[in-house]
Amino acid sequence: MRLTTEEEAMLAGKEGPAAAKAMEILFALGEIYGAEQLVPVVSVQVAGVSYGNLGQAGLDFLCEWADQGARVVVPATLNPAGMDLEAWQEMGIPEDYARRQLEIIGAYQAMGVTINCSCTPYLAGNVPEFGQHVAWSESSAVSYANSVLGARTNREGGPSALAAAITGRTPAYGLHLERNRQAGLVVEVNCRLTSAADYSALGYIVGQMATDKAPYFRFNSGPQPGLDELKALGAAMAASGAVALYHVEGVTPEARSRDVLAGGAAIVAIESAEEGYRALDGTSQAVDLVWIGCPHASLAEIEHAADQLHGRHLEAELWVTTAREVLRAARTKGLTDRIEACGGRVVADACLIGAPLGEMGIGAVATNSSKAAFYLRNHSHLQVRFGTLAQCIEAALKGKWPV
Amino acid sequence: MKLRGRVIRKGYAQGEALVSHQPIGFFGGVDPETGVIVESGHELEGESVSRRILVFPTGKGSTVGSYTLYRLHRKGLAPAGIINSQSEAVVAVGAIIAEIPMVDCIDISRLETGDTVSIEDNTVEVTPRGAAR
């Protein structure tokens, strides 16, 4: 890999030890993955925020890097934390956890990172344009940036994304190069999908089939997916597989701008999304918590949840997770009041994967997201129900999964 | 015996080789407090990576694994050096932030647990176990 004079100087420590370390990380990754150069990035999304996932090791490292003078030079936003940074006490988060979580946020703040903790930065002001290079982590956001926005990013880890923010650059390999953005698997969807959960279930199935190929969808029955459906589809494929890019015929921007289908692409037909539900839905009758907002809910999704409650009193906890900026909009629109009046909660900043749910007495969770179901079961070891928003709201009202 | 590879993190290290034929995932696979490999069923389960020259084909698993190497470094329990056949991002980033000399593109079939190994930038020198020095 070739570096410019300026990049060489950075690597040699002319801009301090923190920038040198960042450049060392990017140079090593560029060498490993066969990049020829670094490219400038317009924004960064940093993973490694929740104390539950990062632990003391990550906290120590971030503090050291910040102390060495690490400062971001392009706009950078954060992944969700393990709690609402303002309303953590109302969530029942243990104080010791909260203190360490706030220390992590403090280290990022010292580096100049925007404290906007969300897996949907694109719903909260960090919106790259078609063809722009970015360095994003968070698999669902990576998928959305590449597929729905047509921006270009690899799937970064926390330190490599932060290194990109500190230098303003990322190694040009993988999905930064047009030749690697062709689809290798055509997915003919012949069934009618009627909810975001259906797209999430479909994504779970296709993610497992895709291996290292970018899927190319044709929705042959019913309306084409909107932004919320694409968000659900991409998040699911990134969780069950490693899909960082997909195309939808006639819908996503790259598929509309050029021929993205690789010669000799394999073809699969999907006749039902049922298998995706079956793979993740458990058997628990009792439901302690209903979680909507994985990835973080859009304003429209918060409104759907509020509408389905019809002001009725909830038996189980209902948490809708979202970006803080979207929470503010929901509050202005009166949506949070409507949800809170029923006993539910709209939570900003947080992801419940990495939140101390077990310590908070939660045993069984219902969700309309296959990604949430997958991680709650395999990472948090909780009882999980996976169904549509309507089923989830029903479960919140009754405290048990509808038959 | 001298082998040449590619520098992932420059520096000098020496120690006793600990060789795995399976990939190593640091997040969940190695205890960050003790340096002991805890992945159930791993061929090196129960072995400590601390102060050894850790030799394995490649890394695997969550990107949070980079921080496990950093934690071990802070506690003085990190591997002295790392040798891979083909590096990937998690371990490479971990070696850089934990300041562990690391080299890849090495034919690791030529190393065995117990060999005395030194790494200097891209060069690996191996003294087989039991050989006269």
Task: Return averaged pLDDT per consecutive 10 residues of chain A, 403 residues in all.
Answer: 97 97 96 96 95 86 96 97 93 92 97 97 96 96 98 94 98 97 98 97 96 93 95 95 94 97 95 96 97 98 97 97 98 98 96 84 96 88 95 98 93
Chain A residues in contact with B104 (beta carbon < 8 A): 32
Parse chain B into domains and list their residue ranges.
Answer: 2-127
How far from chain centre, in Å, is Cα A218? 24
- Return phi, psi of residue A290, to 5°: -110, 125
Chain B residues in contact with A55 (beta carbon < 8 A): 32, 64, 67, 71
- Return phi, psi of residue A175, to 5°: -75, 0
DSSP-H helix ranges across chain B: 65-74, 89-97
- How far, CA to CA in Å, does A291 sit from each of A124, A299, A376, A380? 20, 16, 11, 14
Q: How many whole angstroms separate alpha carbon B113 and alpha carbon A184? A: 42
Chain A residues in contact with B6 (beta carbon < 8 A): 31
Kindly indicate whether the ipTM for this predicted assembly is greater than 0.85, answering yes or no: no
Q: Are A368 and A335 in contact (CB under 8 A)?
A: no
Q: How many whole angstroms separate alpha carbon B110 and alpha carbon B117? A: 11
The arithmetic mean of pLDDT across residues B19-39, rounded, is 92
Token pair 């698997």: residue: A185
What DSSP element (H or E) covers B14? strand B12-19
Chain B residues in contact with A54 (beta carbon < 8 A): 64, 67
Identify whether B62 is a catalytic site residue.
yes
Chain A residues in contact with B67 (beta carbon < 8 A): 48, 54-55, 57-58, 61, 158
Task: Using CB atoms, pick whichever of A29, A60, A137 lies closest to residue B92.
Answer: A29
This prediction's pTM: 0.92
Strands (E), A113-242: 135-136, 169-171, 183-189, 214-219
Q: Are A170 and A35 in contact (CB under 8 A)?
A: no
- Fold that domain B2-127 belongs to in CATH: Glucose Oxidase; domain 1 (3.50.30)
Q: How many whole angstroms separate alpha carbon A98 and alpha carbon A94? A: 6
User: What is the per-residue pLDDT for A356?
Assistant: 82
- Return the amino acid letter for A255: A
The counts of H helices and E strands in chain A are: 16, 14
Q: What number of other Cβ atoms are within 10 A of residue A80's Cβ?
A: 31
Count Cβ–Cβ pairs < 8 Å, chain A vs chain B: 67
Q: How many whole angstroms separate alpha carbon A70 and alpha carbon B43? A: 39
User: What is the per-residue pLDDT for A34?
Assistant: 94
Strand partners of residue A136: A45, A155
Per the CB < 8 Å rule, is A47 touching B89?
A: no
Decide if A60 touches B, using CB distance below 8 A: yes
Nearest C-alpha in A relative to B69: A57
Task: Using CB atoms, pick whichever of A32, A56, A157 lies closest to residue B66.
Answer: A157
Q: Which of A121, A276, A140 is nearest to A195 (CA)?
A: A276
What DSSP element (H or E) covers A46? strand A44-46
- Return phi, psi of residue A266, to 5°: -70, 160
Nearest C-alpha in A relative to B8: A28
How much of chain A is in helix, strand and coil states, percent to nearest 5? 45, 20, 40
Token pair 């190929």: residue: A213
Per the CB < 8 Å rule, is A157 touching B90?
A: yes
Would you state the torsion angle of the CA atoms of residues B49, B122, B67, B91, taken in this order, to the nearest 10 degrees? Answer: -80
- DSSP-based three-state secondary structure for A59: helix
Per the CB < 8 Å rule, is B93 touching A137?
A: no
- How far, CA to CA in Å, does A348 sit from each of A105, A108, A322, A382? 14, 18, 5, 22
Q: Are A260 and A288 in contact (CB under 8 A)?
A: no
Question: Which of the following is catalytic: B20, B40, B48, B62?
Answer: B62
Strand partners of residue A261: A183
Decide if B97 touches A, using CB distance below 8 A: yes
Query: B132 falls in which pLDDT band (50, 70, 90)?
Result: low
Per the CB < 8 Å rule, is B63 touching A57?
A: no
Decide if B60 touches A, using CB distance below 8 A: no
DSSP-H helix ranges across A213-293: 227-240, 253-257, 274-280
Q: How many whole angstroms separate alpha carbon A217 and alpha carbon A320? A: 29
